[in-house]
Amino acid sequence: MTILVLLVAFIAIVCFVKFAPQFGKPPQGDHLELIKQSPQYQVDRFENNPKISLDFSLADAWSAFWESITGDQKRRPSSKLPASPLSVDGGGGNHLTWFGHSTFLYEVDDKKVLFDPMLGKYASPLPGIIKRYDYDLPSSAKDLPSLDLVIISHDHYDHLDYGTIKDIEPKTKLFLAPLGVGSHLKLWGVPEEKIIELDWWQEFSLDGLMIVAVPSQHFSGRSVNDAQKTLWAAWVVKTAEANVFFGGDSGYFSGFADIGNKYGPFDLTLLDSGQYHDSWSAVHMTPEESVKAHAELKGKKYMPMHWAAFTLSLHSWTEPAERALKAVEATDITAITPVIGERFDVLKDVPNEKWWEDVD
């Protein structure tokens, strides 16, 4: 009887992973053959350049586990985070609003661009796992204004959310994504004609906006059998007035200098500065590394992101901001720390309130 129960449970799990839509779908058929032509696609998957090891050893696992039960860091806030409701207008300018973690609404040249569409409650395929911190999102996905572009850095759950895509698809004109990510979007109901996939260093222009997919050092995957089947990328969004770098997730690597030399200087860099750990240092930067990357990108203002929404590592939830500000003290770099929902001008404003200090 026990064996039968285990067998039924196993079959149920396999079926759930295979058919539940939130897991997405890796590229297949003609789509797969097309992306195989990318220099980044080697043998049967995408690789970083230079290639890195993504092996997580037993020793790494034990170290992380031991730290998780012995550390005294406060990894989640116990009270509600401050947040402002979304405020937009129909005029021009270069205004940015942070939703926490790595999701932003960028109002630029009369267009509205959403970076990394993740407005869900859980950064996982299952409810109850990796819950968002307690705060009022500036806007729900359903209440967002019409979007000209949605730009996706990679397919991990904390950056690409099934429910968010379902809610924003009717109001979105175009989705820009790294190679292969469109396979998830099509499964979720996004028409193929609304999806544009780019390889590293490929450019896309739209009414005065130049958008470039550039390298990052990371990985991808949403299920047990799709590791690195889709590409990951950082993004350059440049207009006649402003130049913004959205880094997605990345470890520190030599590519930042290459990007800075080709597309810099940047008025603002949005850089992965949280959820780091020694065991996965190749794919997530520390704040100090992010500051170094900002300098190599030839950035003016630097904003640490990838924090203040989900706990995906073992440091305290405020440490990314604290270390980022400490790292710029002896430099001429301007770090900004807007409150979630605070709308600011990319070129003019310097939001620097240490709002987390008032949160328990």
Q: Is the CB of residue 288 less than 8 Å from the CB of residue 322?
A: no
Q: Extract the tokens encoding 26.
A: 């890796």
Q: What is the SS3 assignment for 51?
A: coil
Domain membership of residue 215 (yes or no) is yes
- Can you spell out the DSSP letters for 141-207? STTSPPEEEEE-----TTT--HHHHHHHGGGEEEEEEETTTHHHHHHTT--GGGEEEE-TT-EEEET
pLDDT at 55: 79
Q: Say what the pTM is.
A: 0.95
For 261-278, give one letter per residue: b (16+ CB within 10 A) or e.
eebbebbbbbbbbbbbbe
Q: Extract the tokens encoding 63.
A: 């170290």
- Can you spell out the DSSP letters for 288-317? HHHHHHHHHTTEEEEEEES-SS---SSS-T
Question: What pairs with residue 196 in β-bridges?
Answer: 176
Which of 152, 150, 154, 169 lies closest to 111, judged by CA? 150
pLDDT at 13: 47
Which whole-number Å values give the CA distances from 94 to 90, 149, 174, 287, 339, in the listed order?
12, 15, 20, 25, 17
Beta strand extents in the chain (DSSP E only): 41-42, 45-46, 94-98, 104-108, 111-115, 147-151, 172-178, 195-198, 203-206, 209-214, 234-238, 243-246, 266-272, 299-305, 334-335, 343-345
Question: What pairs with residue 208 in β-bridges?
Answer: none
Q: Count each helix (H run) and each strand (E run) in the chain, helices first.
A: 8, 16
pLDDT at 91: 66
Domain membership of residue 128 (yes or no) is yes
Domain membership of residue 23 (yes or no) is no
pLDDT at 68: 64
**Count of structural domains, the chain:** 1
Domain membership of residue 43 (yes or no) is no
Q: Is the CB of residue 99 less than 8 Å from the CB of residue 87?
A: no
Domain range for 233: 57-358
Domain harbouring 130, CATH code: 3.60.15.10
Q: Is the CB of residue 209 less than 8 Å from the CB of residue 109?
A: yes
Domain membership of residue 27 (yes or no) is no
pLDDT at 7: 44
Which of 186, 200, 195 lies closest to 248, judged by CA? 200
Domain membership of residue 5 (yes or no) is no
Domain membership of residue 233 (yes or no) is yes
Q: What is the SS3 assignment for 235?
A: strand
Q: What is the SS3 assignment for 212?
A: strand
Q: Extract the tokens encoding 295.
A: 């300098």
Low-confidence stretches of the chain (pLDDT < 50) are: 4-13, 15
Domain membership of residue 259 (yes or no) is yes
